[in-house]
Amino acid sequence: MAQYPRPEPVRFAVMMQSWCNLTFLHWRYPVSIIAPYVPSPLTVDSCDGSAWVGITPFFLKNLHPPALPSLPWISHFPETNCRTYVKGPDGKPGIWFFSLDAARLPAVAGARTAYGLPYAWSRMRVRKIGSRMEYESHRRWPDHVAKTHICIEAGAPIDANEMEIFLTERYRLYSRILGQLTFTDVEHAPWPLHAAQATRIEQTLTAAAGLPNPAEGPLVHFSPGVTVRVALPRKI
């Protein structure tokens, strides 16, 4: 049976949120293509001989600090991330983001400032109709090029294999704040994964990041979601 990694406990969370109705789309890339996009001392974390690039659209709910309740509108919005997988200088696995699109400008500004993440402001929509999920985004700032229109059909729950755990169970993100490389730990239960099939994939997020178009179709998985505790960023 495949082993799940253990996240570092986030004892002093500064932010709580839920990531709901999330789809994982993953494309295989040569390590040599992705490596120039990963800043030293991070290195590409590969699986099955390849680097992987993921696009993950979802709906974020109940964004709030631990001592305060979530608020209408500002605490609930769609988000779509474009990312790859890396290891830190201590060997800890994590995520390096090419972009994170969100539908709330205050959240975009806050995350760019506090966490150094490359958030973009986008017009977005997430719809769930039975087992069908539809995600749309069109970037407003800092460009008008990046967009997505993704539709999937979610299937039955699955027991994650080693590769699926590698692609989904990531409890650390890396970013730059004022030129300093940092890491941020997140804590949540293992993703409850479902089989899924893409019925429509239109996206320019990889091209906007400077990546070549994927050479083949993606691996697709769906999750109803997890509740997340987010720590403060720390310098490497």
pLDDT at site 1: 59
Provide DSSP, 28-88.
EE-HHHHGGGSPTT-EE--BTTBEEEEEEEEEEEEEE-TTS---TTTT-EEEEEEEEEEE-
- Counting the structural domains of the chain, the total is 1
User: Is 5 contained in some domain?
Assistant: no
Is residue 76 within 8 Å of residue 33, measured between CB atoms?
no
User: What CATH code is carried by the domain that includes residue 54?
Assistant: 2.40.400.10
User: Is 6 contained in some domain?
Assistant: no
Average pLDDT, the chain: 97
In which residue are the tokens 């800890």 written?
Answer: 92
Q: Look up residue 131 and give its DSSP letter.
A: T
Q: What is the mean pLDDT of residues 72-88?
A: 97
Domain that holds residue 208: 15-235
User: Is 9 contained in some domain?
Assistant: no
User: Is 2 contained in some domain?
Assistant: no
Q: What is the pLDDT of residues 166-207, one digit of tens each?
A: 999 999 999 999 999 999 999 999 999 999 999 999 999 999
Angstrom CA distances, 9 to 61, 68, 86, stand at 22, 21, 20
CA distance 166 to 53: 12
Q: What is the mean pLDDT of residues 18-46?
A: 98
User: Is 3 contained in some domain?
Assistant: no
What are the φ/ψ torsions at residue 162 (nearest 5 degrees)? -60, -45
User: Is 81 contained in some domain?
Assistant: yes
Share of the chain above pLDDT 90, in %: 96
CA angle 52, 175, 95 (to 5 degrees): 25
User: Is 161 contained in some domain?
Assistant: yes
Whether the full predicted model's pTM is greater than 0.95, yes or no, is yes
In which residue are the tokens 């992705």 written?
Answer: 34
Confidence of residue 3 (pLDDT cuts 50, 70, 90): confident
Q: Residue 35: which residues within 8 A CB-CB, separation 6 or more?
A: 43, 44, 51
